[in-house]
A and B are shown apart, each in its own frame.
Chain A
């Protein structure tokens, strides 16, 4: 079967659940996305941006939008000792009974509701950052997304507690496409924690986030990926940073079958700080592709990137990070690092750190290393009474710790560290 008919068939499944809720500007955006869907093809290994990730496996399956009958929230999904404004989505549907907003004046609603009310921010921002005209998965989301979280923080406000979005996938052959929008007005602050959970069913989730960070605002976004083992997850986070703003993000991957993380940041103001970190601990036949793009449009900014890969089983990890410094964006300090440990003979890592620099007064560097456990260090720990597994676990935790350090919410940091510890036991088998 040719790719075109495969594509039509794949998209036809989404047509069963059309969305006709958008008006005004939102209607235009949807139409643009439909147009793009007609014109674009799904990427193959021949596309430079998808060189190491094959999505054909997703296209061959049939997925449907399905609701869950008795939605329930597992205790396991909650972060210990952390009070949050919680939004729960199960199979893409908002669960108001399971959600809880504890900050009284927080402007938070679903994108569906915001769209329905034709909320100003939605009209202006949703789809304004995404590349839905050229990226087929973003177009797919833009055309068919039902809902998601919409948070707007007013000038100089800061919610007392972080926002915690829980996306749960349950059942066989499920698909949904969450669409989240975060708008931070001048001087606002917001922390977003996004956890992805799921059962063992086959599924396809296509998530798009947009962050609009205005002058002097500070945002952080931590995504903890505990996807079900047969989940295919495509994630695109699109960030816009204005002057003096700060954005930090961490993507921590534990589950999933095929995960693609696109993090694209346009730094369009001076004196910005951008931090992108991530860790992926893989096992079995997992495939995780981290694709980051930092676009320095303005001078005097700093960006730091640090991704750690720990790969076991027959898993494959991909890191493709790009830093672009535009002409006249002087005094940019951009650093990029990707370090990987391969635990087994069949494990594989493809690392492609890229620098594209058009300004001379900059300090940019990248580094990439791939190796294995230090035998001497293992021996040292074992000679002091640790088992081999214990020693390796300890070393993996230490290795991953650097990418987790940036998490400023202490209970969240501890929780992620405990997830790493658990995962260490799994991937060594």
Chain B
């Protein structure tokens, strides 16, 4: 029996109920299933221009012809695309009066993560006005950004307010017929974020969907578009370390980044969606298409991801290094436990001269999970003097899990240098022994060693994020020792 979205919703519903949540399904939804009418409905509900509807329909027609990819090293029940409700207006959650009403399990995790009381309240949907007026905080940020000419808003707003920009760049990096899930997203995406950094502007703060968590209600088909004009800089954070109890089983997001001459975009993700229970039942499918285009000379795109959640992850943040001297980076920590499956990695497509790319991937598998690195480094004919270095390490905790490495390294000219190395091993008994000798218990020892192992990647995260991510790893791996 396939585990359906309804069951997941029910389960979450029940578990929430157990701890005193009440949440009602909102009625503003389109019917289940997918056809052109539904897409027209979504488009009209969102009051979209004609060209965007055409974009959706074309994507949908392409999607109909496509087959679900099977090559990834993951096991899962195929989602039933007819069972999904593709549009639901954000549900007004019941505001809780105090933190005491929050699910103790969630609360415990917040505490472990060291999330501040204010943030905890916000995340759990506790009314904030008593302590901090989050809206005013947000507004301060918005004013500051507007001053600089930076556009940072939800995708729907962007479609209404900046249609020219959206039309110009949307689908440029991830065309609507790119792959099965990108096509699906292009047809039915509901919202997401839009970010535009004008020429010569360095964004003064880390942009984060975090700030918009309530207003966005991002939904399962999220679409993000980041455009960095000449000589600009932005650091963008997606997701958060707190566990997100999402009701949607299938997540198919698309992220597009365009970096012009001398621009730099840093994109960091921390993903901690519901991974299913200890027996592998349920959990979120995370099928994401993320791609950045280094369009201009000397441009740079850097992806950093910490993946701990989701039952199935299928995600390859990529860089197309088109501009001469452009640079792509990929730092990843992927942790799987219990019955989680992850097939993740990157693609570095070198087209321009003197392009450089760096891949650092750290996989950790525990329990009965499967964790694969799959990456492509392609140096094309004209990418003279291109340079790549890849390091993909896997750590196994327990003898029932799997760690795999599938790199594809294609070199088509003789002036480039490409290096790849990968190792797979477990935590050395001598290392644990050493730590135990100094008074740590085994779990602490493992946590210490794991932290050292992923340090290279965590260092790339913005400070606050890194601290939380570190703790998140500890929590994910809890109970995997012994």
Contact = CB atoms under 8 A, between A and B. Distances in A.
Given A360-B397, A360-B401, A353 B422 contact: yes
11 contacts: A48-B71, A330-B399, A349-B411, A353-B407, A353-B420, A357-B396, A357-B402, A359-B399, A360-B401, A363-B424, A364-B424
B408 A362 contact: no
Given A330-B399, A354-B406, A361 B421 contact: no
Contact of B399 (A328, A349, A350): A328
Interface of A: 48, 327-328, 330, 340, 342-345, 347-372
Nearest to B427: A360
A363 B413 contact: no
Contacts of B414: 342-345, 347, 372
Given A340-B411, A362-B426, 13 more contacts: A350-B409, A355-B405, A358-B401, A362-B396, A364-B425, A365-B421, A367-B421, A368-B419, A370-B411, A370-B419, A371-B418, A372-B414, A372-B417
Given A366-B421, A369-B418, A370-B418, A357 B404 contact: yes
B392 to A, nearest CB: 9
Contacts of A369: 417-420
Contact of A354 (B397, B405, B416): B405
Given A367-B422, A370-B418, A357 B411 contact: no
Contact of B407 (A345, A348, A352): A352
B398 interface: yes
Contacts of A364: 423-425
A340 to B, nearest CB: 7
A351 B391 CA distance: 15
B403 interface: yes
Given A360-B396, A368-B407, A348 B412 contact: yes
Given A327-B400, A360-B396, A352 B417 contact: no
Contacts of A356: 402, 404
Contact of A357 (B71, B403, B418, B419): B403
Interface residues of B, number: 35
B98 interface: no
B381 interface: yes
A367 B422 CA distance: 6
Given A355-B404, A370-B409, A365 B424 contact: yes
Interface in B270-288: none
Nearest to A311: B414
A365 B400 contact: no
Contacts of B298: none
Interface string B413-443: 1111111111111100000000000000000
B394 interface: yes
B402 A358 contact: yes
Interface of B: 71, 379, 381, 394, 396-426
Contacts of A345: 381, 413-415
B421 A327 contact: no
A355 B408 CA distance: 12
A359 B425 CA distance: 9
Contacts of A344: 414
B404 A370 contact: no
B400 A352 contact: no
Given A360-B426, A366-B421, A368-B419, A351 B404 contact: no
A290 to B, nearest CB: 14
Nearest to A363: B425
Nearest to B409: A351
A270 to B, nearest CB: 17
Closest 8 CB pairs of A and B: A360-B396, A342-B414, A365-B423, A370-B418, A351-B409, A360-B426, A364-B424, A367-B421
B409 A368 contact: yes
B403 A361 contact: no
Nearest to A330: B399
Contacts of A360: 396-399, 401, 426
A367 B413 CA distance: 20
A342 B398 CA distance: 41
Nearest to B425: A363
A372 B415 CA distance: 7
Nearest to A325: B424
B423 to A, nearest CB: 4
A371 B387 CA distance: 9
B413 to A, nearest CB: 6
Contacts of A352: 406-409
Nearest to A353: B407
B101 to A, nearest CB: 42
Nearest to B420: A368
Contacts of A363: 423-425
B399 A366 contact: no
B30 to A, nearest CB: 36
Nearest to A339: B419
A366 B422 contact: yes
A361 B397 CA distance: 9
A404 B47 CA distance: 69
Nearest to A349: B411
Nearest to A333: B425
Contact of A350 (B71, B408, B416, B426): B408
B420 A362 contact: no
Contacts of B415: 345, 372
Nearest to B412: A348
Contacts of A349: 409-411
A330 B400 CA distance: 11
A366 B419 CA distance: 11
Contacts of A357: 394, 396, 402-404, 424
Nearest to A347: B414
Contacts of B406: 352, 354
Contact of A342 (B397, B399, B401, B413): B413
A345 B412 CA distance: 8
